[in-house]
Structure formats: C-alpha cells, structure tokens
Chains A and B, each alone.
Chain A
Amino acid sequence: MASRQSMLQNHPEICRHLLWFFGVAACVKLLLIPSYHSTDFEVHRHWLALTRSLPLSQWYSDETSPWTLDYPPFFAYFEYFLSFFARLVDPQIVDVHQGLNYEADTVVYFQRISVIVSDLCLVYGIYRLTRKLEAKKRVAMWILVIWSPALVIVDHMHFQYNGFLLGLLMLSISYLQDGRDVMGGFLFAVLLCFKHLFAVAGPVYFVYLLRHYCRGGLLKGLGRLAAMGTVVVAVFAAAFGPFFYHGQIQQVISRMFPFGRGLCHAYWAPNFWVFYIILDKGLAFLLKKFGIDIPTPAASFTGGLVGDSSPFAVLPQVTPLSTLIMVLLALSPCLVKIWKNPHPGSVARWISYAYTCGFLFGWHVHEKASLHFVIPLAIVAVQSLEDAQHYFLLSIATCYSLFPLLYEAQEYPIKVVLLLLHSMLMWFGFSAKFSKVKPPTISDNKKTRKKGSSSSSSRSGEEGEFVIGWGGKCYIIGIVIVETWGQLLHPYFLGDKLPFAPLLLISIYCGVEVVYSWVWQLKRIMAD
C-alpha cells in the first residue's frame, strides 16, 4: 500500500478514511441480514420486550421465557433504550407474550441494523487508538479489527452485541495509553456493568491503576485512590442502585452468575480443559487396559454439578473455585510485572493476556469469548514483526474455532471466504508494513497465503520480511486437513457415527494454538 498520505494527515482525513472502512463493512453486513441467527437473537428480542413492557422490579425475576436476563443492569438499560425504536418499527417485537419467537422481517431487520449501528462504538474506539499511529500501522489495525471475520460471524450472523462492548474496552485502553487513568478506569467500570464477563481483566486494571495512578507519596496516593474508588462506586451505584432499592439484588446476582452450568459449554471451547478432559479419558482407558478398575463417572462435563460426583474418572475434580484460582495463578506473573513497572505502552498486552488466561482456565467458557483477547491483541500486533506473525496464526485459529457456530450449509461458503479473505488482507497489510524494500509484486497477489520465502527473520522490531515459519505453515495446512476431514472424509467413512468427533478435533486443534499463544504472550510480557 503506497503511503501516498503523509504522516501529518489531519484528523478529518483519517475520519473519512475510517468511515470508508466502516461503510464497506456495513454493506457486507447488510447483505448478511437474511443469514442464519441463533437463539441469541430471540434472547435479545425477549430482553427488548422485557425491558419495555415490565417495570424495573420485574426485569430480573420474570419467567415468561427461558431466556432470562443474565447481563448486568447497564445492558438492560441499553435494551430499554433500543426498545423505544423497536416499538416504533413494530409493536409486536416488544410484546412479552405475543412476541415470543417472533421471526418476522421487521424484527430481523431492526435487530441486525441495531448491531451494525452499535458497531460505531467500536469504530470510535479504534479511531482514538489509531489516530496517532503512522498510516500503514493504522490501516493494518483497521483491517484487523473493523474487518475481523470473527466479529462478523459472531455479531452479525450468530447474533450478539460484542461490537460496542469491545468498543468500550478499546476506548478504555486508549485512555490508559494516553495516560488518562481516571477515564480509563471509569470506562472499564461502565463496561463491567454491561457485561460482567469482562471482569477477568479486573486484577490487571486494579494493579495498574494502583501503581500508575495512585502515586506520588502516601497522602496524594491515597487521595487518588479515593478518587478512583469513588468513580467506580458511582458507576456501580448507577447500575445496581435501583435494584438495591427494590431489594432485588440477590436475584440479580443469582441471574448473573448461574453456577448450575458445567465446566464446558455444549461445544467445547478450545481451552485448557479440553486437554484436561482428554487426558482424563485417556488415562482411564489406559488404566482399564492394565486391569485397574475405574468406575465410569455419572456426571457429564456439560451438565451441572451433580452433588459431589465428579465427571472425571481419574484426575481430580474441577470446581468453579479451582478454575478461579487457576486463572489468578496464571495472571500472577503478569501482575507482578505490572507492579514493578506500570508503563502505559504495554497496557493492551496485559489486558489481552488477562483475557487469554480467563479463556484458557475459566469455567463454562464459550468459544465466542476468544473475541475478548483477539481484538485487543490487534493493538499490539502492529507493533513488531513477531507480534504480527503471532497474531496472524492466532486470529486464523480462533476464527476457525468459530466455524461450528454456523452449521448450516448455506453459510459455509460465507465463513470460509470471510476467513480466507481476511487472511489475505492480513498478509498484505503486514507485508506492506514489515517489508525490507517494496510491497510484494502483483504476481504474488493471486496465489494463496501458503507461501513464504525461505528464511524467516527472527529479529524483533520493525525490520525484516513478514513470513511464516515452518511451524506456522504446518499449522495452517493442518487446519485445511481438519476441515477436509470434518466436512468430507468423516461423513464418507464413518457416516453418522461419532458426530461430535469433528467438533472435538476442531476444539483440540485450535486449543493447541491458544495454549501456544498463552505461553508466547507470557514470555513476551516477562521479557518486556
């Protein structure tokens, strides 16, 4: 990408450029409106109806639909805000009883367009993050985030509102990077009141703000601590206050933290527990072969905790508490690092690491949660060659792990093409940024990404060609093999038997990359 624009580009120019990216993405998203949507669609529609038709005191106790409100109050207020417009479009959307499983065109259009519009929050967050970067880095980041296929698949097809939540996160990071800690902390508190799943990065924020903001002697430090604390408490009060007033707070908490669920989601997210389970089953199998009697466990991994019985045959049981401890353990080296040297430049790295740990070791993790660490990592990906190489593989793996979300045949070409296209865009974006001389020639453009020159540069920093080493190439080829197996060979050879096997394979394969990424991120943080 020839950098015709000088680095001293003014802000309106950048805005226009960014809005162009958003516009093109919006057109594509518009075209995706009729595509498959999951039960999450009905969930959000029900919440629109709930917040519109019922008084506040009943929001968290209503039982009309199995899709009860399990996000914190700010999200409920957001749905309430949207419901005004929903009612204008079609009153039946917001009817609690008549609107159940309502699938008409109006509600589909309304909800899809609301997601597209709410993505503007993400656009703003990215704008704030990238306006001071140089042109190539900036455009590369825009490609990575605004045209992220994982975000399109989850938000605009499967249907969720991650775009604007991630936008809030990006905004918070941008303020922290600018050194404006209060704003950063404030936005994070707001984000937590929208979706409490983001609390995994809480320790990072806490330690960072404590060390970076509450400095300057005991008195001043304490004063600042008090200031920050007041802000956070104020945010939470605004969110939860009305529910305290109605005496509902117990109900709200119990809805927000449903501990009846199992260790894994129905489709196993590619995290650490997949390997733990497989190890357990493998050991059980081996030990049985050696004649040792192992009772088959009664409980299952995806069901809830059934009394004291463990779903594990050999290895120790895992409880929510133990997962929490593991997450904190994994986070601790990072926290120590932050304590020693809280400098704003690495904030994004730490936060992404926190979400990676949460994803790997958390309880009942969805594969969609991979968005939480992949998107912030994009901020870091443009900083150096190694980061870019790491990000390239990670985003492909996590996007591929989302494929089982769209299981209908008509979405198959879409998800494959989205991933391929994004990979190519990434490749070219990175190559343009990290090249010794000129961007690659046009003859390279039409070939696939499975190419690379022989020597891979191991120098960090901005020099060197963007190439993928042998490990990376093998991994990508492996993805093709896994997909071919799942789509073609498995039905051909095994027919209907073992239907979960391809999904398991995808989980494991992507899990490998996620674990590798975790280790890599940790090493990078420690080396900083």
Chain B
Amino acid sequence: MFGLLVRWTVSLHSYSGAGNPPKFGDYEAQRHWMEITVNLPAQDWKLLMRFTVLSSDLLIFFPSVLYFIHAYYDVHSRGRKADVAWHILLILINPCLVLIDHGHFQYNCISLGLALAAVAAILSQRDLLACVLFCLSLNHKQMSTYFAPAFFSHLLGKCLRRKHPLLEISKLGLVVLGTFAMVWWPYLHSRDAALQVLSRLAPFERGIYEDYVANFWCTSSVLIKWKRLFPTQSLRLFSMVATILACLPSMIQQILAPSSKGFLYGLLNSSLSFYLFSFQVHEKSILLPLLPATLLAMEWPRPFKLLTHYALFSMFPLVCRDNLILPYIALYALCIFLYHPPGGRWDDSKRQGSTPLSLVSVLLTLAYLGSLVLHIVYLTVRPPERYPFLFEALIMLLSFSHFVLFAFHTNTKQWMLSGHLIGSDKGKKQH
C-alpha cells in the first residue's frame, strides 16, 4: 500500500468539503470577493466554492508536496519506500488543513502550497526559484510572513558563505523586488492605491488578540489585562519586539550555520514564535507552524503526534462553532489509525528504545488525558455564569503551555544541529 494512498487523501478532502455546512463568516467573505467578478444563483455557489478549494488544493498543494518529498529524500537519501508513502500521507492528511480549508472554508492551501514549494526549492539548492515562490506565497496571504525570518536567515547564511556575498544578496534582492512588482503592478500606478492595499492587509485597529487563541498575549491576559493597561500603539511595539526576540535564536543559528535540516527547524521555530507573540493571531494560524512540523514528521514522530493533537485541540472551539465536530472526530481517528499502521513500521519506538518513565512523560500523559476530558466537557457541560468562557480559557491554557514547550524543544534541537556552537543557557533536556 504505497504512494497510492496519497490518492486517498483526495477522497478525504472531497468528503469533508462536500458534506458539511459552510461557515458564513469566511465563506461569505470569500464569496463576496468572487461575486464582485462573477454572478451565479445561490445554491450553485456552495458547490462551486467547494470545487474551487479542491481544485486549487490539487493544482498547487499536491504538486508542492511531491516536489518537497522529492527534494527531501534526495538530500537525506535514506528512508524506505514505505516511509516516503507515509510521509506524503501525513502531510496531505494534515487534519487542521483539511478541516479549515474544506470544512470551515478558506484558501490556505494556495499560500501554504507555494511556501512549501519554496521550501522544496531551497532544499534542492535553487535559491532564486525559492525566492520567487515565497514572494508569491506572501502576496497570496500575508500570513506567510510567519516563515519570512527563516527564509531570510537561511538565505543570508548561505550567501555569506559564498565567494561574493554582496552579489548573491543583491541577486536575491532583485528577484524579490521583481516578483513583488509583477504582482502589485495594477496598484503601483499611484502611491495612494498601494498604501490602501497595505492598510487593508494589516488591520491594526482590531486589537492585539481576538477570541481565545493559544498565544502569549491571550493566555497571559488572564493575569495581565493588556488591553486595559496599554494603548494599541505600545502593544504593537511589544508584540513586534517579543516576536523578534523569540525568533532571534533560530535566525542567528541559521545565519551562522545554514543547513537544510536546520532550515526546516528554523521554519518551525519562526512560525511558532510568530504564532505565540504576534499581533492579531487567529486560531487558524496554527496551520503555519504545523506545516513545517509535518515536513519534519519522520524525524520526531512522538512530539509530532502531540503537536498535532494540541493544534487540533486549540481549534476545537472553532470547530464546534462551525458544526464540524463529525469531520473533526473522523479525521482525528483517521490520523490515529495512520500513525499506527499494522506492522508498526512508522512508530519508531522500537528504534529509539523504550523511553524511561520520567516525570515529564507522566505529566504529558496526564495533560493529554485532561485535554480529552475537556473535549467532552466543552460539549456537554454549561460553563458557570461568572466565567462564560471558562472552558475556552482552559483549552487555550493547555494548548499554550504545550506550544511553549515545543518552542523550547525545537529551538534546542535546532541548536543541537550545529554541534560546534554550544548554546549557553539553552541546555533544556530533550523529552
């Protein structure tokens, strides 16, 4: 049962897409953007929209995955056919992506696909192509800036190692500018038009957080009421500083010692730090750290499973709002089945030897069980009157704590890669 299981995911996508009610918020937003161009009767819209997501997924995301797998396994040149197949499958049946794009309805697959293709291009040493692809991804959805520091630092690091660093940097710079110019061409005729586009892209008036996202500002707002203490301007500054500080270690590592694997970790770290500290983060943004995590899935299966679980968990309130609980359960169960195929060739617990029953793993298991319980509690029990969002807050708290742990874990891993550079106080133990 080899790579043909890849096709399975095609069917999966169409199920969650075709069978579930759309969410009026995002759906209507997307539809409105399209209605400006095309007119159709109402009932055909649903079908058309689903088809467009599916086809864009097929056309952009799938080939990017194939390209990535090709590049990744060329570089690492190990891994049996079965591993390759499972890896493809895991990337494609990324439950969060499926749920959001085809259930909740968005077009993340395009920007993620382009970003993924950019990653693949870097892995196969085609830097200029990577630049173009990443710029396209950025221009499709500005959320791809989450990956920008990683790309930047990796490319910078590589350039500095070449014979004529300035030439390399300027080549890259020209390519970036060129791509931007091409895409923004219709809006470049006047400064006002360009500024309008920019202001729409970055709605700073909305505030530092919305709803209950598992990031730093939201979680700590339980204790420190940021919105009341500081004006938006200073909050903006805080978040920018915090984000940059958080992704600084990984950036430095890449500039000093660029490598393919390090780059992948860098992606994960920078997107995670953006998710944790940035301005106006949505729950859906967990997709962005999750993508590089799936790319690295074969390297660290157990933490990856946990990460997927908590990513899904942090999206659970959103899922409930959209009546997507059934696909949530089905996809989650499917993931569990796929992580434990008969024959156990993917679960490398045998390879690594049995891990000792340490305090950490006990705590992790307890937290995992707690999160499962919370799923049920959230659905059935009514929260007390004084704290109407108690359960959302609990979910957020659990998820956040795990994300922070992951951030530490992955940062240490990235530093461990460059063996000759010993991190000073980054000596946290691996799980």
Contact = CB atoms under 8 A, between A and B. Distances in A.
A32 B6 CA distance: 19
Contacts of A428: 1-2, 4
Contacts of B340: 20
Contact of A28 (B2, B12, B50, B329): B12
Chain A interface helix/strand/loop/mixed:
helix
Contacts of B3: 442, 445-446
Nearest to B323: A105
A425 interface: yes
A136 to B, nearest CB: 12
A35 B12 contact: no
Contacts of A445: 2-4
B419 interface: no
A259 B18 CA distance: 39
Interface of B: 1-4, 6-8, 10-12, 14-16, 18-20, 47, 50, 54, 66, 81-82, 84, 326-327, 329-331, 333-334, 337-338, 340-343, 345
B342 A16 contact: yes
Contact of A417 (B11, B334, B341, B343): B11
B19 A33 contact: yes
B330 A30 contact: yes
Contacts of A413: 11, 14, 18, 54
A4 to B, nearest CB: 6
Contact of B326 (A1, A2, A24, A30): A30
A283 interface: no
Nearest to A19: B342
Contacts of B331: 27, 31
24 contacts: A4-B343, A4-B345, A20-B337, A24-B337, A26-B333, A28-B15, A31-B15, A31-B326, A32-B19, A33-B19, A33-B326, A34-B326, A35-B15, A409-B47, A413-B11, A413-B14, A413-B54, A414-B11, A414-B15, A418-B11, A421-B4, A425-B4, A442-B3, A442-B81
Interface string A436-452: 00000010011000000
A462 interface: no
B333 A27 contact: yes
A483 interface: no
B334 A27 contact: yes
Given A28-B15, A31-B19, A418-B11, A424 B4 contact: yes
Given A20-B342, A410-B47, 9 more contacts: A4-B345, A5-B343, A27-B334, A33-B19, A34-B326, A414-B11, A428-B2, A428-B4, A446-B66
A35 B14 CA distance: 11
A411 interface: yes
Interface string A22-61: 0110111011111100000000000000000000000000
Contacts of B334: 24, 27-28
B1 A414 contact: no
A33 B324 CA distance: 12
A420 B6 CA distance: 12
Contact of A31 (B6, B16, B47): B16
Contacts of B327: 31
A246 to B, nearest CB: 43
Contacts of B329: 30
A343 interface: no
A1 B3 CA distance: 12
A17 interface: yes
Contacts of B345: 4
Nearest to A5: B343
Interface string A415-430: 0011011001100100
Contacts of B54: 413
A31 B12 contact: yes
Given A17-B342, A31-B330, A413-B54, A421 B12 contact: no
B20 A34 contact: yes
Contacts of B326: 30-31, 33-34
Interface in A422-481: 424-425, 428, 442, 445-446
A1 to B, nearest CB: 6
Nearest to A432: B1
A1 B343 CA distance: 11
A484 B356 CA distance: 59
Contact of B7 (A16, A30, A414, A420): A420
Which of B1, B10, B16, B18 has most chain A Cβ within 10 Å?
B18
Contacts of A35: 15, 18-19
B18 A414 contact: yes
Contacts of B47: 409-410
Interface string A86-123: 00000000000000000000000000000000000000
A424 B11 CA distance: 13
A26 B334 CA distance: 9
Which of A1, A31, A33, A428 has most chain B Cβ within 10 Å?
A31
B8 A421 contact: yes
Contacts of A442: 2-3, 81, 84
A35 B20 CA distance: 9
A27 B337 contact: yes
A16 B340 CA distance: 11
A43 B54 CA distance: 34
A1 B10 CA distance: 22
A159 to B, nearest CB: 15
B43 to A, nearest CB: 10
Nearest to A442: B81
A27 B326 CA distance: 10
Contacts of A24: 334, 337-338
A230 to B, nearest CB: 43
Contacts of A420: 7
Which of B1, B15, B331, B338 has most chain A Cβ within 10 Å?
B15
B84 A410 contact: no
B68 to A, nearest CB: 15
B16 to A, nearest CB: 6
Contact of A421 (B11, B81, B342): B11
Contacts of A27: 330-331, 333-334, 337
A411 B18 contact: yes
A410 B342 contact: no
Contacts of B81: 442
B365 to A, nearest CB: 22
Nearest to B20: A34
Interface string A209-227: 0000000000000000000
B337 A23 contact: yes
Which of B11, B20, B66 has most chain A Cβ within 10 Å?
B11
B199 to A, nearest CB: 39
A16 B12 CA distance: 23
Nearest to B330: A30
A34 B103 CA distance: 13
Contacts of B50: 410
Contacts of A17: 342
Nearest to B335: A27
A319 B340 CA distance: 56
A417 B14 contact: yes
B19 A34 contact: yes
Contacts of B11: 28, 413-414, 417-418, 421
Contact of A23 (B82, B333, B343): B333
Given A31-B15, A442-B84, A424 B7 contact: yes
Given A28-B12, A35-B18, A428-B2, A417 B7 contact: yes
